[in-house]
Amino acid sequence: MARTGLYKSEVKKARDALIAQGKHPSVDAVRIALGNTGSKTTIHKYLRELDTEDGGASGRRASISEALQDLVERLAAQLQEEASAQIDAARAEQAAQEHRHAENLAAAHRDAEHLRGQAQRVETALQQERDAHGRACETLQQEAIARHRAEQQVADLKERLAENEAHRRSLEEKHQHAREALDHYRQAVKDQRDQDQRRHEQQLQQLQAELRQAQQTLVVKQEEVTRLNQEGARLVAELSHTRQALQQAQEFGRRQAQKLEALQSIEQRHDMLAAQLTDKDAHAQALQEQLTAALAQTGSLSTQVRELELALAQAQAKNEAQQGVVAELRTYLLASERPA
């Protein structure tokens, strides 16, 4: 390569110095005298011009050996320049290849880091699913306890309804006896009004006493009916809470199923992680089976809740029938309390 700012005067000075020393001013010798700087082609051109300029004055002719040496030197300079160009091109190509290799290596590192991040996210999601499954199990256990409590309350309510039914039958029997006694009393008054006036007054007093007792009994029964209605309302509230909790458990189960489907789609998109995530897939499958079992238990709980609602409706119907009988008895007693 030519040195920047190489002048013809410098080449002439170096050539003259070599001639003064008795040396042949070849291209390599001049270039060494210049401090190994400058292009050999440029030096050769300047030397040829200087020889042309100095040819007539000095009368010196270059010998054939000098011409051949000059030709060889020029060919060597050209070969060196071509070799330097080829070496530079090879170095540039090698540098480009090294750059591409570095970029590919960096891309591979980024891909590996991305895959490690995806594996970490999948593992985190599986852990969250395990935690959610644990919470779902606890919720189902609480629902089972609530269902057992509701069944116990329904059994208690049925027992109280049975007792109330027994009281109602006893009250109906008393009402029948009172009606028979009243019919007998009316017939006796009709046949022996004058003769049995005093007996009639005594019977009337006795009937009024029985009426007061029946009214007291009616008040007690009304209190029992009110208490049963309150128990029924409380049971309805608890059943509503149980139904709401059941719906929440079902919704939670559906969300868990959707999350499991999302995890399965992620596992399909990343087949390269299949070997590392085989155990985690097995855990996810077991979790899905447990969730299916939990959903089946939820369906059973829904059936039991519907049965409880039916039993409650039957109990309320019996209470309404009993209240109708009590109202009819009150009307009859009030009518019979009036003077004939």
pLDDT value at 154 more than 60:
yes
pLDDT value at 95 more than 50:
yes
pLDDT value at 61 more than 50:
no
pLDDT confidence of residue 79: 80
pLDDT confidence of residue 283: 72
Sequence spans of domains, the chain: 8-105, 129-337
- Only one residue has tokens 């002719």, namely 61
pLDDT value at 3 more than 60:
no
C-alpha to C-alpha distance for 90 and 76, rounded to whole angstroms: 20
C-alpha to C-alpha distance for 80 and 88, rounded to whole angstroms: 12
pLDDT value at 337 more than 70:
no
pLDDT confidence of residue 129: 85
Give the pLDDT band (50/70/90) at residue 200.
low
Report CA torsion sign: 126, 129, 134, 137. Answer: negative
Buried/exposed code over 17-28 (b: 16+ C-beta within 10 A; e: otherwise) = ebeeeeeebbbe
C-alpha to C-alpha distance for 290 and 262, rounded to whole angstroms: 17
pLDDT confidence of residue 148: 85
Q: What is the mean pLDDT of residues 50-73?
A: 62
Task: Say which amino acid occupies 215.
Answer: Q
Report DSSP state, residue 273.
Answer: G
Q: Which helix (H) or strand (E) holds 292?
A: helix 278-337
CA 40 to chain centre: 75
C-alpha to C-alpha distance for 270 and 200, rounded to whole angstroms: 102
C-alpha to C-alpha distance for 83 and 254, rounded to whole angstroms: 75
Give the pLDDT band (50/70/90) at residue 57.
very low
- Residue partners of 248: CB distance under 8 A and separation at least 6: 139
Tokens found for residue 215: 């009214």
Task: Say which amino acid occupies 334.
Answer: L
pLDDT confidence of residue 180: 85
* 8 touches 49 (CB < 8 A): yes
For all residues of the chain together, what is the average pLDDT? 78
pLDDT value at 56 more than 70:
no
pLDDT confidence of residue 270: 62
pLDDT tens per residue across span 214-247: 678 878 877 876 877 787 677 778 777 777 877 8
Q: Where is average pLDDT lowest: 26-30, 119-123, 257-261?
A: 257-261
Q: What is the mean pLDDT of residues 186-200?
A: 76
Q: What percent of the chain has pLDDT over 90?
A: 0
Higher pLDDT, 338 or 13: 13
Q: What string of DSSP letters covers 99-168? A: HHHHHHHHHHHHHHHHHHHHHHHHHHHHHHHHHHHHHHHHHHHHHHHHHHHHHHHHHHHHHHHHHHHHHH
Q: What is the mean pLDDT of residues 121-137?
A: 86
C-alpha to C-alpha distance for 291 and 261, rounded to whole angstroms: 13
pLDDT value at 100 more than 70:
yes
Burial class (CB in 10 A: 0-12, 13-18, 19+), 196: middle
pLDDT tens per residue across span 244-289: 877 886 788 788 777 777 767 766 766 776 676 677 667 767 777 8
pLDDT confidence of residue 67: 61
Report CA torsion sign: 323, 327, 333, 334. Answer: positive
pLDDT value at 157 more than 70:
yes
Q: Where is average pLDDT lowest: 44-53, 108-117, 126-135, 327-336?
A: 327-336
